[in-house]
Structure 1
């Protein structure tokens, strides 16, 4: 099993298929927020994995495309 992401690093919430910055761990859950700011969300540790540089770029491009198409806020 991979190491959990450190606070301040990018993490992939595999359940929601979203990438965010790991802000804290609270009550056994990760608190994540979008890189550019925005609404924070909680995720179960089993659903969160560290993000590689290649994966971070791919996910950011996908998120930007979805926002421009109006499919993600």
Structure 2
């Protein structure tokens, strides 16, 4: 299957608007995308219509949120 318009390649960094999370595309099958956090962690799945390319500002916001969450867990 070739990449159609609107599809995201494996390895692409995308924003899942349904989960409000940034992830890396690990796999895709019949319109379902399997993502994992860029810094590692548990995968989740979502549909193509929930995805958009992650902008630099979205990626930065996600990274800051991850650092903040990690610091709260250490307290």
Provide the TM-score with structure 1 as the length reference: 0.77
Q: Using the alignment, how far apart are the partners of 2:71 and 2:57 within structure 1?
A: 21
| CA displacement at 1:47 relative to structure 2 | 0.7
Deviations for 1:9-68, whole angstroms, at most 9, x for unmatched residues? Answer: 211111010111011112320000011221111001111111112221122112321333
Higher relative contact order (CA 8 A, sep 6+): 1
In structure 2, relative to structure 1, the CA distance for the partners of 1:39 and 1:29 (3 Å cut) is same
| SS in structure 2 at match of 1:11 | strand
Structure number with larger C-alpha Rg: 2
Is 1:33 aligned with 2:36? yes
Q: Using the alignment, how far apart are the partners of 2:17 and 2:65 within structure 1?
A: 14
Q: Using the alignment, how far apart are the partners of 2:70 and 2:8 within structure 1?
A: 25
Is 1:59 aligned with 2:62? yes
Structure 2: give runs of 5+ residues left out of the alignment.
Answer: none
Is 1:16 aligned with 2:29? no
Provide the TM-score with structure 2 as the length reference: 0.75
Count of aligned positions: 69
Q: Using the alignment, how far apart are the partners of 1:4 and 1:62 within structure 2?
A: 27
Structure 1: give runs of 5+ residues left out of the alignment.
Answer: none
